[in-house]
Structure 1
Amino acid sequence: MTQDRHHSSHLFDDARILLNEVLDELDTSEDVRQRLLQPNLSLQVGVHVRMDDGSLKVFPGWRTQYDTSLGPAKGGIRFHPSVDQQEVGTLSFWMAVKCAVLGLPYGGGKGGVQVDPKALSSLELERLSRGYLRAIADVIGPDRDIPAPDMNTNATIMGWMSDEYDAIQRDQIPAALTGKPIALGGSLGRVAATGRGALQVLDLWAERNERKPEDTTIAVQGFGNAAYHFARLAHQRGYRIVAISDSKGAIHHPEGLDPDPIKEEKTRNQRLKGMVYCENSVCEHKGAKTIEQEELLALDVDVLALGALENQIHVDNVESVRAGLLLEIANGPVTREADEALAKRNVPVLPDVLANAGGVVVSYYEWIQNRSGEYWEEDSVNQRLAERMTREAQRVMERAETRNIPYRRAAYLLGLERISEAILARGQCHRCE
């Protein structure tokens, strides 16, 4: 646990340093700075779960709401052994910035439970999900804080939580959570939205740099929901996916890989056993060479798409990165020190607060559909997603190019500028002109 706490503290420190640097550049009120240095609310709970063997276990959980000047908090729930309060707080800050960058009427939210969900049976996982929802029910709702899926949570888990929230409220409130099954008011297009949005940002960058998909090689770290759909859609667009990894290993094929049969092999055992999580690996694919996960990060490719965990590119391995561009599909995969080292080498990074925002954009569309009672066709959802992602990505890229600054700095300037304006408009700042 000491290492996990250090990891979370490092994330939080990096976030605060960047926040202060950008606020200095914006020259905004000190009152705005003070409001943004801490979350509005950080709730810790104990989630009581009766295990299948009759024993009782209590898992620590958290829900954090960052600045909500733009609207109710919005953000996912992750189940992972390393989750702690600082990690959830940092993730909620990133969500606040991300929602602002995409022009969404939301503040930042995030939740998590410190658990290895793959060690639980399906029934234990359902009890955990419902228990966590009961523990945070008093601080969420469609006008206060709207949870969604994140690492190791999915539509099935959101369905359990939505049902539990309806039972607590004695009402049907589909807009209280997003990322739900379609049968419970989920939006078409939500499952692939994060990967699709990341590809749209990459497409825009490629277009602005006169690069064709068929001339662009990509290595994909991670093969969860977001990274898989990114790889699948990128392959369809003509990009050459030359390497893929998951938590158990990595594979490489210079001529290119088709993500769909790899996914099929990886999930076959999951379907047969009726499991919630996949136990197989991409390494079981026979048509490619198995390599070490660190080797994938050092491949000579045009794009390194990071879709796994935080802090994957750091001071100890950044010099081995040979990719021409990094695309952050995961949250915080590049540390601040590594980011600075890449900038000195003129290696651009398309940041998480822009590149992986497709999921929250379509969650916003789900929220709108739930509140109006009118549901959209998938083509309409995808079109709206493409229009918003392209519009806001263009703003970020134009600002970065005009001012000759990294894309991350440009994105934070745009997001924090919008949050600061909302704080000032609410009259919550005193020493302001």
Structure 2
Amino acid sequence: MSQKKSLFSDAQSRMADIFDRLDVHCDVRRQLEQPKCIHQAAIPVRMDDGSLRVFPGWRVQYDQSRGPGKGGVRFHPNVDADEVTALSFWMVLKCALVNLPFGGAKGGVQVDPKSLSRMELERLSRGYIRAFYDVIGPDRDVPAPDVNTNEIVMGWMVDEYSEISREKVPAIITGKPPEMGGSAGRTAATGRGALLVLETWARRKGKRPEDTTIAVQGFGNAGYHFARLAHEAGYRIVALSDSKGAINTNMALDPEPIWRHKNETRELKGMVYCESSVCTESDVGQISQEALLALDVDVLVLAALENAITTDNVGQVRAGAILEIANGPVTAKADASLAEKKVTVLPDVLANAGGVIVSYLEWVQNRTGDYWSESYINERLADQLVNQAELCFDRADEMDVSYRVAAYLQSVERIVSAIASRGTQQYFIGE
């Protein structure tokens, strides 16, 4: 079986130890071993040349014991039911970890969105909502952006839902444009949250930003905003990569001009990407994406896709710590190898939770009609995420376990309480 097909089983393989540590009742184990619902649809799209293409799409609702499902919609050529199921499972853990009143869900369409025109992309986005209209809703399942989807796509989706329902329902989708009810601060929230987690850990370890080198794999929305904010905070960004290439320097990169150049040319090249007072054009070079993962840096940021670090390349990792902004970027076996090498891993369910926290705040604003400033949103994000990160780190220190184990324990405890409150076997047989 390929790594792609085993993504969900790989994610589940970490749970047996967590269940045993918490002595979780078999009723709860059975409920969390598989998703509640897997919805699949064929989404027809009339192309610009008049031809018809049909794209497979999914919406998986894994568990809703703590509230409505919550999770993004991914457009990618490699999306399949297994991947969407694994992502929905991680959303359950993530929402519980940061104590949000949501369950976990996820969506995806198997498509290369870069091959579509903007009008074709709009038709596909609206077709996704038509396909899954009857299984989503503000109190049922609330989609959001994910890989290759953004606020424009979310705007089309919320508009389509409103057209079908014949009423304005802004709380059905988060990550929308502000003009359509989207929240201030949502676009940068995932990257901002990842930096908050890194800073919380760094303070506990006595690490200073100016002494910390960082390599970032994945220069999309989350990776860019993390790199930009980390650079502003004084961290040294020494390497960046996207799906087409990678660049590095011995000094420090300024992510802002790199982002502008990337959006203009769709390329990462060794041009004048550094601050003029720090380095020159000759200091920046191109490296392979594989070489970036093997750089000797203080922090390796994984902000691309799942399975970036596997048993095939884990031996090449020389970073002292890994920050997982992507979902599932380290396989379970590779995770064990990193632990043996004493590489700190700040896990995805914590590190990328900033996006869902601000999605929750957007959902609340949509339901109340009371909209808040970006500074207030950022304060709420920091308060919620740093508090939950501190609880997780404290547990890891007290129990002498990895941050991932501590995060999973924190999540599963809350999920178990929600499921058990409905009754377990002991309750129903009078014990």
TM over 0.5: yes
Correspondence 1:244-393 to 2 at 5 A: 244-269=240-265, 280-283=266-269, 285-286=271-272, 287=281, 288-393=284-389
Aligned-pair RMSD on alpha carbons? 1.0
How far does residue 265 in structure 1 lie from its aligned partner after superposition? Answer: 0.7
How far does residue 90 in structure 1 lie from its aligned partner after superposition? Answer: 0.5
3-state SS of paired residue (1:349): strand
3-state SS of paired residue (1:323): coil
Contact 1:266–1:284 under 8 Å retained in 2 = no
Q: Distance in 2 between matches of 1:406 and 1:9?
A: 26
How far does residue 345 in structure 1 lie from its aligned partner after superposition? Answer: 1.1
3-state SS of paired residue (2:91): helix
* Moved segments of 4+, more than 4 Å: none
Contact 1:98–1:353 under 8 Å retained in 2 = yes
Give 2:425's aligned amino acid: H
Match of 2:32 in 1: 36
Give yes or no for the alignment of 1:106 onto 2:92: no
Correspondence 1:64-143 to 2 at 5 A: 64-143=60-139
How far does residue 149 in structure 1 lie from its aligned partner after superposition? Answer: 0.2
Contact 1:265–1:285 under 8 Å retained in 2 = no
Residue in structure 2 matching 1:15, options 8, 11, 17: 11
Give yes or no for the alignment of 1:394 onto 2:390: yes
How far does residue 380 in structure 1 lie from its aligned partner after superposition? Answer: 0.1
Q: Distance in 2 between matches of 1:329 and 1:158?
A: 21
Match of 1:405 in 2: 401
How far does residue 9 in structure 1 lie from its aligned partner after superposition? Answer: 2.6
Match of 2:191 in 1: 195
Superposed CA deviations along residues 333-389 of structure 1, whole A, max 9, x for unmatched, are 001111000001111100000000000000000000000000000000000000011
Contact 2:270–2:285 under 8 Å retained in 1 = no
Match of 2:173 in 1: 177
Query: For the structure 1 residues 254 and 284, does the alpha-carbon distance in structure 2 shift closer, same or farther, using more than 3 Å as the test?
Result: closer
Match of 1:431 in 2: 426
Match of 1:186 in 2: 182
Q: Which runs of 5+ in 1 are unaligned?
A: 270-279
Match of 1:272 in 2: none
3-state SS of paired residue (2:142): strand
How far does residue 122 in structure 1 lie from its aligned partner after superposition? Answer: 0.4
Query: For the structure 1 residues 285 and 137, does the alpha-carbon distance in structure 2 shift closer, same or farther, using more than 3 Å as the test?
Result: farther
3-state SS of paired residue (1:312): coil
Q: Distance in 1 between matches of 2:271 and 2:152?
A: 27
Match of 2:206 in 1: 210
Superposed CA deviations along residues 397-423 of structure 1, whole A, max 9, x for unmatched, are 011111111100100000011000000
Superposed CA deviations along residues 233-264 of structure 1, whole A, max 9, x for unmatched, are 00000000000000001000111000001001
TM (normalized to structure 2)?
0.96
Superposed CA deviations along residues 18-77 of structure 1, whole A, max 9, x for unmatched, are 122211111011000000011111000000000011111100000000110000000000
Contact 1:49–1:56 under 8 Å retained in 2 = yes
Q: Which runs of 5+ in 2 are unaligned?
A: 273-280
How far does residue 284 in structure 1 lie from its aligned partner after superposition? Answer: 5.6
How far does residue 268 in structure 1 lie from its aligned partner after superposition? Answer: 2.2
Superposed CA deviations along residues 69-118 of structure 1, whole A, max 9, x for unmatched, are 00000000000000000110010000000000000000001000000000
3-state SS of paired residue (1:113): strand
Give 2:271's aligned amino acid: H
How far does residue 232 in structure 1 lie from its aligned partner after superposition? Answer: 0.2
Q: Distance in 2 between matches of 1:47 and 1:353?
A: 30
Give 1:243's aligned amino acid: A
Query: For the structure 1 residues 58 and 284, does the alpha-carbon distance in structure 2 shift closer, same or farther, using more than 3 Å as the test?
Result: farther
Identity of aligned residues (%): 60
3-state SS of paired residue (1:98): helix
Match of 1:62 in 2: 58
3-state SS of paired residue (2:250): coil
Q: Distance in 1 between matches of 2:418 and 2:15?
A: 17
Match of 2:223 in 1: 227
3-state SS of paired residue (1:7): coil
TM (normalized to structure 1)?
0.95
Match of 1:274 in 2: none
Q: Distance in 1 between matches of 2:369 and 2:110?
A: 35
Q: Distance in 2 between matches of 1:239 and 1:16?
A: 35
Give 1:375's aligned amino acid: Y
Superposed CA deviations along residues 134-165 of structure 1, whole A, max 9, x for unmatched, are 00000000000000000000000000000000
Give 1:431's aligned amino acid: Q
